Chains A and B, each alone.
Chain A
Amino acid sequence: MSTAKRVYFYLVYFIALGMFSTGVGILLSVCFDVIIKHPAPAQIGAQSFARETLSLGLAMLVIGGVLWFLFWRAIQRNVSGNPAEIGSAIRKFIFNVILIGSALVSLFAAVNFLKWLMAGALLNQFPSGGLARLIVTGVIWYYHWRVTEKEGQPSPEAKTLRRWYVYLLSGWGLVSLSVNLVGLVNTAVLHLPVWGEAIVSGKFWNSSVHSNLVWIVLGGLVWAFHWFRMARGDFDSTLRQVYLYLLAIVGSSVAGLVALTTFFYGVFIWAFGGVTGSIAPYFRSLGWVVPTILVAAAVWFYHQRVSQEEAAEVHERHFSPERVHFYLMSFFGLGTLIAGLIILFGILLDQLINAIGAGAAVIASGWWRTQLSLCLALLLVGLPLWLYYWQKVLQRAAAGGVVEWQARSRRIFLYLVAAAAIVTLAADLVNIVYQLLNGLLQGAFGLAVLRNTKWSLQTLVVAVPVLVYHWRIIRQDQRRGAETAAIRKGVTLLVNDQAIDLVSRIESTLGFKVRVLYHLGSTPVDIPTLSDEEVSKLASDIQAAPGSKVILIAHSGKIIVVPYQEK
């Protein structure tokens, strides 16, 4: 099939399926309404409403159904026994869109239906439309899932599109499970009989608890099915690394650290005597803080262990998400640490200003309490976080060579920190010089100048070492050639799909991506096993080849470098 014909077939198939399934859904909903809702105490307008919906449902079902059947049969005839058609990007795109859409719609419909059951299953509130949607989208999902599982993923595009579906649903399930676990524990804690009269709440068994329970069960099932069954053994996937590092590990780290900072802040305020009266209501935030820390820790430890176990299976080309994770966490750690230090210097300057200006101002007792508590909480969380991840970054940079120094995430991190520090310094210096000059010229050089430059001084003291440290790293990287762009040629490698490791090694040595073409039909079994020296020589041959485009062909146990140009 030509691409245009494929687009035509699958687009009409998709729209016809939507029409057909909506029609079936309307008829199911009408049936539920009449059987279950109609004997309810009283309905007004039920007869004409049912006839109107039935008319639309029948029209959509008949027209959509016939269209869907004809196009599905035509598609299946073209696809039968043809791996190129089965693996076509358009077919797999449409199928995965249907899988994602039907899975999410049926998930929400199931949540509403189960919430109705838990709320006492009142017949006059029976979710006819919701149950109809659940049945229809459930059938659509199961049918298309079975078709895709049966025919497999015979092309790289098919594999990638399936991974989008699998990791999107895995992520969705994990987030639903985690967020609702925290929500449920928080509600339960707030209903404990320890808060005295500080919290007035209704019944524990309310709609929020129903929702939490249903999402825990369904989110957990969705995550377990997609992560443990569908994503099993899929180590050679960048999207898996994105899920592992950027969603699960970074997401849980950030959630846990926010909760930990809130916890420390509350404890310090209490320890410094900032809580008057009963402490019970003050600590009600523990209801979400403690479960957030526990759930985030569980998610972090599990996914960290999985990523470490899989590290041996993962090729260098998929290290990018891990690298981004390290730099992101370093950035969060550094930001938290800097915020803590700025507040700390602010307290010291306030102390100095208060000491100099004693008697001139009324100072509230314990003015430092909230600032010091926040500062200590930020330092206690930010310092170990930054030290842990920055140590990993330094180890990677030492081991990774020019590829690591040139990495985009490293360059962005370093220049972002340097730019922020320079802008802060410039703004601080402008304010300090302005206040000094103004004080001198106005003849009012004294405590007011110190007070007006306080924020600039406390940020300047932190920005200077941050800038010096990161600037030295930037200069060191520049001397090592991190900014020298390699001569980028258009390199295409023709291999079979067993040669992923070879592709990774060539890309690492060249420092840029290589386009990969895969053999169809009978593929060569003699992909060469190259030593590091041979890969380096291959990279040199590519750079030395005339022109800007090179194709590498694996043949007879060798890699042949063929320069070419398009005319």
Chain B
Amino acid sequence: MLGFGIAVGVLVIAAVVLVLTIPTQETRLLPENTPEGIVQRYFQALQKEDYVTAYSYLIPPPSEKYPYEEWRSPLIRSEEKPGWKVTLGKSAVRDSEATVDVVVDVFRPSGPFDNPVRTQHVTFFLKKEGTIWKITSPWDVWWLFY
């Protein structure tokens, strides 16, 4: 039992030290003329709740009458916004189209036996407009909060 207690103590100290020494991500920005650089900036803007900037990286679907308001409404409506983080995965570019895989971890605690972190794998589709990459799908962001 003593060994077990020591192991748990070491784990606690290691976790606290590691978390408190994570460097900030601003120093690790990817080039803006790459698909992954756009996806990274899109999520950074969402983190800062800078919705106008985040929306500028998107191409809204032509069917939407009020695209910005529709897109923004879940971001504003959600009273209890869970914490989330995004890890960029591999990307592929073919002519003027590209895909970027991302792993999204959403933190939503719901009881002593439940895993509080929900992980989902999402593929972003991008299109090149002139020299700028823009996100075509997924257009909405409600899945970040549920």
Contacts and interface: CB of A to CB of B under 8 A. Distances in A.
Interface of A: 15, 18-19, 22, 24-31, 34-35, 37-38, 40-54, 56-58, 60-61, 64-65, 122, 124-125, 129, 133
Interface string B1-38: 00000001001101110110010110010100000100
A46 B112 CA distance: 23
A122 B89 contact: yes
Interface in B106-134: 107, 109, 112-117, 119, 121
Given A18-B112, A45-B83, A122-B90, 14 more contacts: A28-B15, A31-B14, A34-B19, A42-B28, A42-B88, A43-B88, A47-B24, A48-B83, A53-B117, A56-B109, A56-B116, A58-B16, A124-B103, A129-B115
A58 B11 CA distance: 10
Given A45-B86, A46-B85, A52-B107, A30 B40 contact: no
Interface of B: 8, 11-12, 14-16, 18-19, 22, 24-25, 28, 30, 36, 40, 43-44, 47, 83-90, 103, 105, 107, 109, 112-117, 119, 121
Contacts of B28: 42
B112 A49 contact: no
Contact of B43 (A44, A51, A60): A44
Nearest to A48: B83
A38 B86 CA distance: 11
Contacts of B117: 26, 29, 53, 129
A45 B104 CA distance: 10
B43 A45 contact: yes
B81 to A, nearest CB: 11
Contacts of A133: 115
A54 B16 contact: yes
Contact of B22 (A27, A41, A50): A50
B11 A24 contact: yes
Contacts of A18: 112-113
A22 B24 CA distance: 27
B84 A28 contact: no
Nearest to B84: A45
Nearest to B18: A34
A30 B89 contact: no
A445 to B, nearest CB: 62
Contact of A38 (B22, B43, B90, B105): B22
Given A24-B11, A31-B11, A54-B15, A44 B112 contact: no
Contacts of A49: 83-85, 105, 107
Given A31-B15, A49-B85, A49-B107, A44 B47 contact: yes
Nearest to A53: B107
A294 to B, nearest CB: 36
A428 B103 CA distance: 61
A41 B35 CA distance: 13
Enumerate the 6 nearest inter-chain pairs by beta-carbon distance, A residue then B residue, closest first.
Answer: A49-B85, A19-B112, A45-B85, A44-B43, A27-B15, A34-B18
Given A35-B18, A44-B44, A26 B87 contact: no
A51 B18 CA distance: 10
A163 to B, nearest CB: 25
A47 B90 CA distance: 22
A56 to B, nearest CB: 5
Find the residue from B40, B84, B116 having the highest chain A CB count within 10 A.
B116
A125 B86 contact: no
Contacts of A47: 22, 24-25
B19 A51 contact: yes
A64 B8 CA distance: 12
A53 B116 CA distance: 8
A27 B119 CA distance: 16
B125 to A, nearest CB: 18
A26 B117 CA distance: 9
A109 B21 CA distance: 28
A44 B28 CA distance: 10
A30 B22 CA distance: 11
Contacts of A45: 25, 43, 47, 83-86
A295 to B, nearest CB: 32
Nearest to B47: A45
Contacts of A50: 19, 22, 85
B10 to A, nearest CB: 10
Contacts of A42: 25, 28, 30, 36, 40, 87-88
Nearest to A51: B19
B112 A60 contact: yes
B77 to A, nearest CB: 20
Contacts of B89: 122, 124-125
Contacts of A48: 47, 83, 85
24 contacts: A18-B113, A19-B112, A22-B115, A26-B117, A34-B18, A42-B40, A43-B87, A44-B25, A45-B84, A45-B86, A46-B85, A46-B87, A48-B85, A49-B84, A49-B85, A51-B19, A53-B116, A53-B117, A58-B12, A58-B16, A64-B112, A124-B90, A124-B103, A129-B115
Nearest to A35: B18
Contacts of B114: 22
A61 to B, nearest CB: 7
Contacts of A58: 12, 15-16
Contacts of B85: 43-46, 48-50
B34 to A, nearest CB: 11
Nearest to B86: A44
Nearest to A28: B11
